[in-house]
Structure 1
Amino acid sequence: MTAIARRFADLDGVSLHYLDAGAGDAVVLVHGIPQTSHEWRHVIPRLAGRYRVIAPDLRGLGDSSRPATGYDKKTLAGDLWQLVRGHLGIERFFLVGHDWGGPVAFSLAAQHPEAVRRLAILDVVIPGDGADFSQGGRRWHHAFFRTLDLPEALCAGREHLVLRWLFDHYGQRPTSIPEADQQEYLRTYTQFGAFRAMLAFYRALPVDAEDNREILARAGKLRMPVLALGGEEGFGRGSECIASLRRVAEDVRGGTVPACGHWIPEEQPERLCDELLRFFGEEP
């Protein structure tokens, strides 16, 4: 059985909780919303048989601290850079991001391309790539979460209703994320300040898009190999994911994941592990 250590790193302006397992070359797993590092529970044991796996809770979420500011993806990527390079001393690593973890991972790879060996992006598109991040309003909660003050007023004490709706509808079926795991997510998202932090991820979207456009104009597309996977069912992004990454990276492969909605690491963990191990193993 894989031993998974829970650790904390006190960084500049934030304390990050992270999971640490395995040994060897490093793989960094970046979770999405409304999840935490717990979303990688099925993935970590397999990857840790070959790699050292680091899975942090992003600023404001999980068991990390909840600063008032810093939820643009460039700053969040800076947190991870402090953790991986500054605190852990890891010089090069594989990087995987799901949902909002994808734009964070993209920003980290764009800012430090020499450090990211290979990048995998799961069921998300990149802000500022030229397409509609919110699918013309199909992802209705984007606009709602970005509305100032109203979500806090309507959802205070009812955070579980919003999160459970997302869990029930964004997978292939309502039971895609079991009740016990939903309870673990609710444990952290109902803590003081967590819902505010979650909303801040969405409210930073215009800044994220502009930051990405600026770095792409200055440095060009990402040059490291990229794997892009989108879920085929429910609210899965499907082929949108690989289409987006092809607009911002030169060497992109991947496609769609059948029998899967948005929650790829939890709905199809074995398929994902196969894809990641094959992708990482292609490096000379």
Structure 2
Amino acid sequence: MTKPFELHEVTVDGAVLRYVDVGQGDPLVLLHGWPESHAAWRHQIGPLSRSARVIAPDWQGWGASARDLRLSCDYDTEVDRIGRMFDALNLDRVDLACHDYGGFLGLGFVQRYPERVRRFAILNSRAHRTFTTPYYQLFGLISALARRPLLRPILTARTIRIVHRLGLAQFVRNGSFDTERLDAYLDFLDTREGRRWYAHFWAGYSVRVRPELAAGLGAVRCPTSVIWGDQDPAIPFRYAEDLAAAIPAADLVRIHGGHFIMEQRPADVTAALQAWLRRPAVITRNAAHHTESRLR
């Protein structure tokens, strides 16, 4: 069991955001996905903190951060909230590594605010596309239920935790996390406040493609690493290949594993991130390259 990290707190958009802050050096922000917390990076934080100041937030509404229903969860607000978090933490320019929902937001952020991102890494995220058809339909249905007051009680019922535990049990079986870690991710659904937040989040979330993200890939000029578990049925490896082909300074790391790749294959992900951080932060026009490495 990885020892828990101390959590600090700061106020962002009027709500408490809690975060890990360890190590010294250039700031490295690790942004988790759904339904996780900073603990998604628990295997990487220690090793990476030996050469960087690692900041791993519980994104607003998740983990130990506040679930404030006044916070908007629409895409544009969430992307800009990353910048407001940086401001609250007095961070000017960072290395930014993001997974899943965090990667979806992070891609938008690096396109809007390139001057604030020194290097960018993205792991198993819908990013510039959306989910494969079965998951698109599932998440689209959840979002539609959340937007309809008469149907929203389906998402705020106590049974929603059981549904999620069953759905995520496959990641216990493949070794991404144990039952204790899964319970920790889903504990917020045990409370009425947590279930209300859950519905609130999905009411603001959209599964539709945002075409500006694909259109802007060529403008991402910072050193980028696309790190992907290639057994992800919701977000397949071809999405990673798209990103690596379109982002001028991208390399591609293929890891044999599923969606929660930094939990399932922690050593491989840590090594990939360490290699990414060794890349020069300033690139020239001739430095852009596309390479693929495979970790199996």
Relative to the length of structure 1, the TM-score reads 0.84
Alignment of 1:123 with 2:124, yes or no, is yes
Task: Structure 2: state its 5+ residue gaps.
Answer: 282-296
Q: Out of 216, 220, 233, which is 1:222 matched to?
A: 220
Residues 257 and 219 of structure 1, relative CA distance in 2, 3 Å threshold: closer
Residues 244 and 17 of structure 1, relative CA distance in 2, 3 Å threshold: farther
Partner residue, 2:76:
74
Partner residue, 1:191:
191
C-alpha root-mean-square deviation of aligned residues, in Å?
Answer: 2.8
Partner residue, 2:292:
none
* Alignment coverage as a number of residue pairs: 275
Partner residue, 1:239:
237
Letter in 2 for 1:178: D
Partner residue, 1:104:
105
Identity %: 25
Query: Using the alignment, how far apart are the partners of 1:235 and 1:172 within structure 2?
Result: 16
8 Å Cα contact 2:131-2:234 kept in structure 1:
no
Letter in 2 for 1:63: A
Letter in 2 for 1:36: S
Partner residue, 2:47:
46
8 Å Cα contact 1:159-1:190 kept in structure 2:
no
Residues 67 and 267 of structure 1, relative CA distance in 2, 3 Å threshold: same
CA deviations on 1:235-279 (whole Å, 9 max, x unpaired) are 363423313424763322114211x11111110111001000001
Alignment of 1:134 with 2:131, yes or no, is yes
Alignment of 1:279 with 2:264, yes or no, is no
Letter in 1 for 2:225: L
Partner residue, 1:147:
144
8 Å Cα contact 1:242-1:253 kept in structure 2:
no
Q: Secondary structure at the match of 1:254?
A: strand
Query: Using the alignment, how far apart are the partners of 1:2 and 1:60 within structure 2?
Result: 23
Q: Secondary structure at the match of 2:231?
A: coil
Residues 116 and 146 of structure 1, relative CA distance in 2, 3 Å threshold: same
CA deviations on 1:127-185 (whole Å, 9 max, x unpaired) are xx3x4x1212245531232122446425511232232123223x383543101211211
CA deviations on 1:11-67 (whole Å, 9 max, x unpaired) are 223221111111111110111111111111111111111111111111211121223
Counterparts of 1:203-218 in structure 2, within 5 Å, are: 203-206=203-206, 209-210=209-210, 213=212
Relative to the length of structure 2, the TM-score reads 0.81
Larger Rg: 2
Query: Using the alignment, how far apart are the partners of 1:32 and 1:197 within structure 2?
Result: 16
